[in-house]
Amino acid sequence: MDFQIRHAMPGRIRLHVPLLAYPSMVAEATLSWLKARTWVKSARVNYDCACLVVEYEAAEKGQLDGVLALLRQASVEDLEAFLGQPDTSAVVRKPAPTSEKFPLGLPTLSLGLALIPHPLAFAVNVPLTLYNAIPIFKRAWRVWSQERRLNVDFLDTLAITASVGQGNLVAGTIVVWLIRLGDWIRDLTAAGSKRAIRELLEFQSRNAWVVRDGTVVSVPATALVVDDLVVVYPGDMIPVDGAIERGHAMIDQKTITGEGLAVSREVGEQVFAATIVQEGQITIRAARVGDNTTAGQIARLVESNPVGDTRMQNHAERFADRLVMPTLGLAIGTALLTRDFNRFLSLVIVDYGTGIRVAAPTSVLSSMTHAARSGIVIKSGGHMEKLARIDTVVFDKTGTLSFGTPHVTDVVSYAEHIDENHLLALAGAAETHLQHPVAEALREKIRELSLDMPPCDETEYHIGLGVEGQVNGYYMHVGSERFLRRNDIKVDHIAGDRAQIDERGHSCLYVAVDGKLAGLVAYEDRIRPESHEVIARLHAMGVRDTVMLTGDNAVVASAVGRRLGLTRQVANMMPADKAEVIQSLQREGRSIAMIGDGINDSPALSFADVGIAMKHGADIAHEAADVILMEDSLWKLVQAIEISRDAVGLIKQNYGIVAVLNTIALGLALPGNLVGPEMTALISNGSAIIASLNGVRPLMRRP
């Protein structure tokens, strides 16, 4: 059995299995067999991309490896015997029936026959009309059998059967055709969303040019590995995420970032899989391949999260369903009083619910697809609706409002024989063997100033405090104020300088030489250049509170908050504290969006009404979040809110279309002599078509 591992992490694996590209007995048996394993939590097949996803107990990795080895060696015949399934007929995919290829074919034929005044056409059309209406009958029966209530599908069923019973096939076939047309538009929109995901994954099905043993050779994109040197020629699709090592190119990135125009990329800059080189030739060092690329992550997130119903849709459908009995009572009462069956038929044809059921998912799907094309993954329609009504945005500071990479801003020396540059070089030497961000910031500043860093003889690192040891004949202490105090080094005399540094929103590294404070190194986590404008834009959009959560002290947090225009900031935060702040705001009645990027943000992202993760966030943050920004810019947050608000506005607009046109149809049908059942069907069910077409407008917009 042929398959490839597309993505694997402890407790979860996704396989690409060509055999599972369509529903079959083998696919069903495979799922049943896997689910019967006690160590398998869940198993599902996504037929659109031929993927098998298995979630399992991480401790049982050995059992999973054994099953995969067995499946890889098995033929289809072996697999059937292995699974105990005798049926192999489904292995070869059969062509889709005509009704699936052309879903309006039979309803259109039926409508045409209804217009032919001939007994033979009538005789053929009666069973054909009832056959075309089966999906409507099934929906009505499902709601009745499971919930014991009548819904709008019941009115449609009644209208169709009554029309057929009366011999008025024109009215019946018009109702069926319009309902099926609405369903088709909705399904077409869903197919468009899946097609957009397939386009993102197209790079995986192509060959790529890679440097192997000094020669450029062609290999399947699925065979690429991290650190491969990949050559991309003009017109080719980039198959990996990585940095350019040679060359310069104009690249069309709209599939990932939503940019309408090609962008220039040179040596050292990042490029993404599924984007296209328009001009130039580049060689890329692969950093992420396959499903780990940005495009792969977008596709995985979208395909694994259903659209879902919105609260607005559920409420509107329930309201429409509550109108069923009054409408039915009005139709029966009017028919008894007037003895006019056509008037009864016209009234039961009026159907508020069909338009709601069709138009809302169409609007949500098209808006989600528009967002994905703009580099924003919104996991469901429900999350989109919540995002549209948020009034408070909570930001994690590091990696969100800031880049998360410290930068040295000032060096102050208190030692007469050691100037600022010498002090910086000594501090950098003391932290030579450390890999934390502040140590890297020291080294970056030393490189920037072209300083010579003295040799480091011997140092000892104290976790969370600092480092001490011999550097070029000096005994160094480099770290926090608390670290120096623990080593009885006096620091109180420079409290004024430290306060000034704090007021600027910077942090401080203390440097002591031979037991005496020798200086301070001020550094800051560089704020994103767009942060201030984004926060101002959010306030202009009606977001009343913007809150920053940070582990910095209160003075630094306050300085950053003032610089960015935040309404408040909360300092000295631990991961668990962030979640408590979210819950506290929710108890105040706030609707909250939380945006972060790290593992420590995951609890807060989960508690927020809408959790939003930055592009370079940790995997667990992406899993916990409801919205993923696939471009490293806070402007995507603003765009996500705007798209969500537009989507909700579009849904309300469509509900207005449905309500107005159906009310007009009801008003015209009641007198009995203004319109017949055929015109009532056109007005009532036509409202669903108009609303659905209105709902696909986001697909027409440029990212």
Bridge-based pairing state of the strands 545-549 and 392-396: parallel
Q: Please list the alpha-helical segments (H only) found in 207-323.
A: 254-257, 294-303, 311-322
Quick one: DSSP state of residue 476? Answer: E
**Element housing 684 (H / E):** helix 677-695
Please provide the size of the chain in residues: 703
CA distance 471 to 455: 6
Nearest CA among 466, 557, 592, 564 for reference residue 517: 466
**Element housing 326 (H / E):** helix 324-338
Q: What are the DSSP E strand ranges found in 447-539?
A: 456-462, 466-471, 474-479, 507-513, 516-527
CA distances from 397 to 32, 350, 550, 636 (A): 46, 54, 6, 17
| Cβ contacts of 181 within 8 Å, gap of 6 or more | 104, 107, 689
Q: Please measure the distance between the N-terminal and C-terminal CA atoms of the chain and give it in whole angstroms.
A: 41
In contact, 257 and 294? CB cutoff 8 Å: no
CA distance 45 to 22: 9
CA distance 682 to 199: 37
CA distance 480 to 291: 42
CA distance 464 to 461: 9
**Active-site pick, 396, 525, 552, 597:** 396
Determine whether 241 is an active site residue: no
Bridge-based pairing state of the strands 215-220 and 627-629: unpaired
Active site residues: 396
